[in-house]
Amino acid sequence: MDDTDIELRRITRAEALDQGFTDRQLAQLIRTGRLHRVRPGEYALPTEWNALERHRQHRELVLRTAERVTAPQVYSHFAAAALWGMRIRGNWPTRVDVIVDRAHGGRSSGRLRRRAVGFDGREIVEKEGLLLTSPAQTVVDLARELPFVDAVVVADSALGTAFGRAALTTNSELVERLADARTARGVGRARAVLAEADGRAESPPETESRIATVLLGFPRPDLQREFATGIGIRRVDMWWEHFGQAGECDGRAKYRDPAYLKGRDPADVFRREKERDRALLALPAVRGITHWEPTDLHDLGRFYDILRGAGLPTSMPRPTATTLDHAQSLLLRTASTRFRRQ
Q: What is the mean pLDDT of residues 106-122?
A: 80
Q: Which pLDDT band, with edges at 50, 70 and 90, does 330 fall under?
A: low
Q: What is the mean pLDDT of residues 235-245?
A: 97
Residue 118's SS3 state is coil
Number of neighbouring beta carbons within 10 Å of residue 279:
17
pTM, full prediction: 0.86
The more confidently predicted of residues 181 and 210 is 210
Dihedrals phi, psi of 265, to nearest 5 degrees? -75, 135
Q: Is the dihedral of CA 91, 94, 100, 103 positive or negative?
A: negative
Q: What is the mean pLDDT of residues 293-300?
A: 92
Q: Which pLDDT band, with edges at 50, 70 and 90, does 342 fall under?
A: very low
Cα separation, 304 vs 4, whole angstroms: 37
Q: What is the per-residue pLDDT for 263?
A: 55
Q: What is the per-residue pLDDT for 286?
A: 97
Query: pLDDT tens, 79-93?
Result: 999 999 999 999 999
Write the DSSP assignment of 255-308 as a string of letters: GT-HHHHTT--HHHHHHHHHHHHHHHHTSTT--EEEEE-GGGGGSHHHHHHHHH
- As a dihedral over the C-alpha atoms of residue 192, residue 139, residue 207, residue 170, rounded to 10 degrees, the angle is -90
Strand partners, 238: 223, 247
Q: What is the per-residue pLDDT for 42?
A: 87
Q: What is the per-residue pLDDT for 108?
A: 64
Strand order through the sheet with 232-240: 222-229, 232-240, 245-249, 288-292
Q: What is the per-residue pLDDT for 268?
A: 74
Q: Which pLDDT band, with edges at 50, 70 and 90, does 183 fall under?
A: low
Percent of the chain exceeding pLDDT 90 equals 60
Q: What stretches of the chain show up as alpha helix (H) in DSSP?
A: 13-18, 23-31, 46-50, 54-68, 77-84, 135-143, 148-159, 171-180, 187-196, 204-215, 258-261, 266-281, 300-309, 328-341
Query: pLDDT tens, 9-59?
Result: 888 888 888 888 899 999 999 999 999 888 888 888 888 888 888 999 999
Exposed / middle / buried, residue 251 (Cβ in 10 Å: 0-12, 13-18, 19+): middle
When the pLDDT of each residue in the chain is averaged and rounded to a whole number, the result is: 87
109 secondary structure, DSSP code: B
Q: Which pLDDT band, with edges at 50, 70 and 90, does 261 fall under?
A: very low
How many residues would you count in the chain? 342
Contacts 24+ apart (CB under 8 A), 294-298: 294/205, 294/208, 294/249, 294/251, 297/205, 297/208, 297/209, 297/212, 297/324, 298/323
